[in-house]
Amino acid sequence: MQSFVLSSEQLNVLFETLMAKMPMMGPKQRSDQPGFYHFDWLKSPGELVLHYTTTTIPPKKAFFPPVETMFSFKLGDPPELTHIIEDTPFVLAGVHPCDLAAIKALDDAYSVPPADKRWLANRRRAIIIGSDCLPDEYCFCTSMNTADARLPCDLFLTPIDRGWLCEVHTDAGKNVLKNIQKDTAQKKDIEDASQWRLQKAEKISTKLNINFEAFAKILEAGGLTPIWKEIADRCYSCGSCNTTCPTCFCFNKYDEFDTTLTSGIRKRVWDSCQLPEFAMVAGEHNFRGERWERVKHRWHRKFLYLFRQFKRPYCTGCGRCSRACTADINMADVINQLAAASEKERSHA
Ligand code: SF4
Ligand code: SF4
């Protein structure tokens, strides 16, 4: 892997050059909530903030918007369908390692046949520039093996004494750097970047006390219902944990007809397994009608079902769900609580 050094001015030139060619989405400060950041389309490179802790909504929205129009239709024999798929190339900048890992997880989930053409088409048109992060007390990426994730990014930036260490991960990344003034990275630059990563890891105090396989086995064994019920007693079923999660990929669809009721559009919108109606089927039968069943399902889905299918948990340790939860239900704490309760049960058996 090639690495270069860019000064802050050279990095700015890189972003200016890219934005002259295509739209760029990246983290910027919220105008309504100073000190909070969100991924949004940038009007100028000056809006891009690379030193940010995290965003409330993850960058998956660049490929899978919260609400999107899938196609328009016209009833008839045969009916007409026109798929609406964007093809403009764009840049997604400032993506943290845990969010890169989440994009990779969604690449895998959405590639399972019949595959999600919308996700894959959006992914193909993006250049991704990752950047290293500043953790807070909710982050537990070191326990999820995502603290230093790099794929899928084209370039990755780490702050160093001389500016930014820029790792080149793909040919597209190499191409983007063409004609941009830069220095070849020296040993000291690489060491500076390693030092940044070390300091970052040291700041992460939240840790899981159990490995993925052992936790999957606890979930598989079932039981621990009193704990699920105790957590569910605090939960409001608001769904914020799902809508802020970079690896949640469930959606719902609905049609909007025009006034003639002969044509319209189909939209899809993020959904949440914590909402009471999520598992409602015909006849108003709800196979997760109780709140504790829905709460339990979130951990089972991420750490058992998808873990078994894709050989990795569908959680990156970004901490967004815990930050967003007004009931203070913390993803890492629940895992550690279940692990401790299971251990206690075993020692009393
Ligand atoms: S964010 Fe918290 S309160 Fe809301 S559904 Fe998730 S766990 Fe429950
Ligand atoms: S489950 Fe929570 S901590 Fe894990 S990836 Fe989703 S939002 Fe982040």
* Ligand 1 mutation pick, 227, 229, 231, 241, max ligand atoms within 8 A of CB: 241
Same domain? 176 vs 279: no
The whole-angstrom separation of Cα 270 and Cα 222 is: 29
Closest CA to 323 of 99, 140, 123, 192: 140
Say whether both 222 and 188 belong to one domain.
Answer: no
The domain boundary, picked from 150, 183, 203, lies at 203
Q: Cis omega (within 30 of 0) on the bond before 79?
A: no
Q: Given 203, 234, 249, which residue is the final one in a domain?
A: 203
Last residue of a domain, which of 171, 203, 235?
A: 203
- Which atom of ligand 2 is least distant from the CA of 244? 7
Ligand 1 centroid from CA 192, angstroms: 40
**Residues 83 and 190 reside in one and the same domain:** yes
* Residue of the CA atom closest to atom 6 of ligand 1: 241
Q: What is the DSSP string of 320-339?
A: HHHHH-TT---HHHHHHHHH
> Which atom of ligand 2 is least distant from the CA of 102?
5
Give residue 320's pLDDT: 98
Total tally of structural domains belonging to the chain: 2
Same domain, 199 and 224: no
The verdict on 261 and 188 lying in the same domain is no
CB atoms within 10 A of CB 326: 10
Question: Mean pLDDT of successive 10-residue segments in the chain (349 residues)?
Answer: 96 97 96 92 95 95 98 96 95 98 98 96 98 96 97 96 98 96 97 97 96 98 95 98 98 96 97 96 94 98 98 98 97 98 85
Domain range holding 78? 2-203
Task: Clarify whether residues 341 and 235 are in a common domain.
Answer: yes
| Domain match, 272 and 301 both | yes
199 and 271 in one domain? no
- Identify the sign of the CA torsion 185, 190, 196, 201: positive
Nearest CA to ligand 2 atom 4: 315
Q: Ligand 1 pocket test: pick from 295, 325, 337 the residue with the most ligand atoms within 8 Å of its Cβ.
A: 325
Alpha-carbon distance of 131 to 166, in angstroms, equals: 9
Q: Do residues 240 and 116 both lie within one domain?
A: no
Assess whether 271 and 167 both reside in one domain: no
Strand partners, 25: 41, 92
Ligand 2: residue whose CA is nearest its atom 7:
245
Cα separation values, 213 from 168, 210, 218, 344, 349, Å: 33, 8, 9, 18, 21
Does residue 249 sit in the same domain as residue 180?
A: no
**Residue 292 and residue 176 share a domain:** no
Residue 186 pLDDT: 97
Q: Which residues, 6+ apart, have CB-to-CB distance to 336 below 8 Å?
A: 208, 209, 210
**What pLDDT, on a 0 to 100 scale, did the predictor assign at position 34?**
87
